[in-house]
Amino acid sequence: MPSPATHLRAPLLWLLFPFMAGLTAARLWPASRGSLLPLALIAAVLSALAIWLAGRTRRPGQAVWALCLGAAVSLGGFVLLHFREPQLHQWETSPPREITLTLRVDQLYPGAPQSRSISGVGKIVATGENDRDLIGRRVYFSALRKISVPPQRSGRYLMRGILEPLPREPAEASFNDFLENLGIRQKLTRVRIISETAPPGWFRQWCNRTETRLEKILAHGLARHPEVSSLYLAMLLGEKAVLSPDQQNAFMRSGTFHIFSISGLHVGVIAIALHSVLRLLQVPRRTTVGLSLAILWLYLEVTGINSPAVRSFLMIAFLLGSQVFRLPGNALAALAAAALLTLLLDPMQLFSAGFQMSYTIVTALVIMGVPLTEKILAHWHPFSALPQVNWRWYHRRINWCGRWLLSACTAGWVAFLASVPSGIGYFQLFSPGSLIANLVIIPLSSLAIIGGALALLTGLAGVLSLSALFNSSAAVTIIIMDWLAQHGTRLPGVYFAAHFTRSWLAPVSVMAMTGLMLAGLGGRWSRRYGGYWPPVGLLALILIFGVKWG
């Protein structure tokens, strides 16, 4: 009987792929405001035609239905991005100038304690009479810490600084390139935050106070170990700025820097921990899911909710929701639903490195990693001459360890195949050492995250002695991780500097790898279509003909 992993169904892919194509077209080609309404009307007509054709069973009708649906959704994505980002193709040519404006802070980038500046992203809500055209635009700002009012997320602040345009063609993998992919075209530098015109709402203020309290709980008992404490805070609260340059380089080159982003690993581990605790307390299943998601969302809000965390939360929410309400669903369907909702909320995420890497890697694990793991485990038969009823405890332990190791190695290999094009394109690094590094670092970091979660729970309950105990156990794990990363990256062959010979090769390689894996799933990974080897061959071609080393 074929594996269920090769029978994944995700009907929303019929909407997701054309929608992504429409967003990409909007990113490449500008459109006038006057043409958006006619395009929206054409999309509506095509949608109505697709609905009318949906009930037809003849093959010509199905082909026309698919064509109408794809065209309608693509046009919808094209119109949506131009509507949401009206300055997408408008570039400032005016020279840098001093300006006074009111900015609503949407996101703050935490800086190191000794940093002289505070930076973040916000939306202009008020300006002088001569700069009314700037209202509604998003800008990056960098404020001088000593002469500024400390900003808070969601607050509004009167600022004075130098407004200057970003380079029209920023260097690849640079911070300006990151800002451009967010739709930001200007930055405000040498800023002085004069006053707070409107404070954050009560909920945001509560989140800020709670984050400060969580920091104190996690630091309890670790005052004599600042390096360990910095890694600990970075892992649990996402404060990557507290890492030293050596730590950042070590984890980046080993391909394990993702453990410091509040993303899939953190959300998944904490979700499993919450779900397990509530089920042990015999809370009903639907109530368990509701409470787990509510507590998880509060954690994301407190830690300064970011895009990777939201993407992971949506994936888990859709997957748990389909199980609880007994709806037909699977990991690929939940992934497609989360991606579509994410892009509807923020279309510019499609062009960010985080979105592309997270979804391509998770998709690869679902459509290739699961069936490949099942195939490999089908050949794992230790002690086959001995009936299982006669197994001793060490037989079962060896069997479990072998299955775990094979599963972890397979998942690491598939994630490596999917992540190499993005790693070279966005970080200019090829890290073959990540195959082994992730195999070791991810389990250790999961233990540290679990220890941190228990420390937070006991600390919030007022049992600081237990909190210190969990902090100490997590600290031991972190010391091992740091030592392995720092010394492991010094070994030859762990990482290489690399970049694509053409900038367009990065997104094309990502799409080609994902498309080839989807084709493999469609062919049920049969030997007729090459089995599991085509992605390996594609990666070899990319590295040989598309990459420049050094």
pLDDT digits (tens, 9 = 90+) for 304-326: 666 677 777 888 888 777 767 66
Express as a percent the part of the chain with pLDDT over 70: 90
Q: Name residues whose C-beta falls within 8 Å of residue 504's C-beta, 6 or more positions apart in sequence.
A: none
pLDDT for the residue numbered 210: 85
196 burial via Cβ count (<10 Å: 0-12, 13-18, 19+):
middle
Cα 316 to Cα 273: distance, rounded to the nearest angstrom: 13
pLDDT for the residue numbered 459: 87
Q: How large is the angle between the packed helices 285-302 and 264-280, nearest 10 degrees?
A: 140
Residues 69-83, mean pLDDT to the nearest whole number: 92
Token pair listed for 70 = 């794809």
DSSP state of 261: S
Helical H runs in 461-533? 464-488, 505-522
Highest mean pLDDT among 14-23, 64-73, 292-301, 425-434: 14-23
Report the run of H or E that residue 142 belongs to, with start and end: strand 138-144
Cα 376 to Cα 410: distance, rounded to the nearest angstrom: 9
Cα 341 to Cα 317: distance, rounded to the nearest angstrom: 12
Nearest to 249 by CA among 431, 442, 476, 446: 431
Q: Name residues whose C-beta falls within 8 Å of residue 430's C-beta, 6 or more positions apart in sequence.
A: 420, 423, 424, 495, 496, 497, 498, 543, 547, 549
| 3-state SS class at 326 | coil
From residue 512, how far is each of 418, 420, 538 by CA, in Å?
Answer: 10, 12, 8
- Domain ranges (residues) in the chain: 4-84, 97-200, 245-371+407-549
Report the run of H or E that residue 144 belongs to, with start and end: strand 138-144
Q: Is the pLDDT of residue 111 over 70?
A: no
Per-residue pLDDT tens for 491-548?
A: 888 889 898 998 888 889 999 999 999 988 888 888 887 889 999 999 999 999 999 9
Mean pLDDT of the chain: 83
Per 3-state DSSP, what percentage of the chain is helix, strand, and coil (rounded to 5)? 65, 10, 25
Express as a percent the part of the chain with pLDDT over 90: 21
pLDDT level of residue 59 (50, 70, 90 thresholds): low
Widest pairwise Cα distance in the chain: 86
pLDDT for the residue numbered 7: 61
Per-residue pLDDT tens for 391-414?
A: 888 889 999 999 999 998 998 899
CB 56 within 8 A of CB 62: yes
Sign of the dihedral through C-alpha 192, 196, 200, 204:
positive
Q: Considering only 27-36, 259-268, 416-425, which range has the smallest mean pLDDT?
A: 259-268
Phi, psi of 186 (to 5 degrees): -140, 155
Q: Name residues whose C-beta falls within 8 Å of residue 402's C-beta, 6 or more positions apart in sequence.
A: 380, 382
Token pair listed for 448 = 């540290």
According to DSSP, the residues that pair with 11 across neighbouring strands are none
Nearest to 485 by CA among 424, 442, 430: 442
Q: Measured in Å, how far apart are the chain's first and last C-alpha atoms?
A: 48
Q: Considering only 275-289, 377-391, 399-413, 484-498, which range has the smallest mean pLDDT?
A: 275-289
pLDDT for the residue numbered 162: 92
| 3-state SS class at 489 | coil
Nearest to 251 by CA among 32, 90, 452, 487: 487
pTM for the whole structure: 0.83
pLDDT for the residue numbered 477: 87
pLDDT for the residue numbered 238: 62
pLDDT for the residue numbered 325: 67
pLDDT for the residue numbered 463: 85
pLDDT level of residue 1 (50, 70, 90 thresholds): very low
CB 364 within 8 A of CB 418: yes
CB 227 within 8 A of CB 468: no
Question: Which is more confidently placed, 218 or 509?
Answer: 509
CB 187 within 8 A of CB 141: yes
Per-residue pLDDT tens for 268-278?
A: 777 777 777 78
Q: Is the pLDDT of residue 5 over 70?
A: no
Cα 216 to Cα 319: distance, rounded to the nearest angstrom: 34
According to DSSP, the residues that pair with 144 across neighbouring strands are 117
Highest mean pLDDT among 39-48, 249-258, 261-270: 39-48
pLDDT for the residue numbered 352: 81
pLDDT for the residue numbered 382: 87
Cα 269 to Cα 260: distance, rounded to the nearest angstrom: 14
Task: Provide CATH code, domain 97-200.
Answer: 2.40.50
Q: How large is the angle between the packed helices 307-324 and 285-302, nearest 10 degrees?
A: 180
Per-residue pLDDT tens for 151-198?
A: 888 889 999 999 998 887 776 667 777 787 777 888 999 999 999 999
Token pair listed for 351 = 């062009």
pLDDT for the residue numbered 161: 92
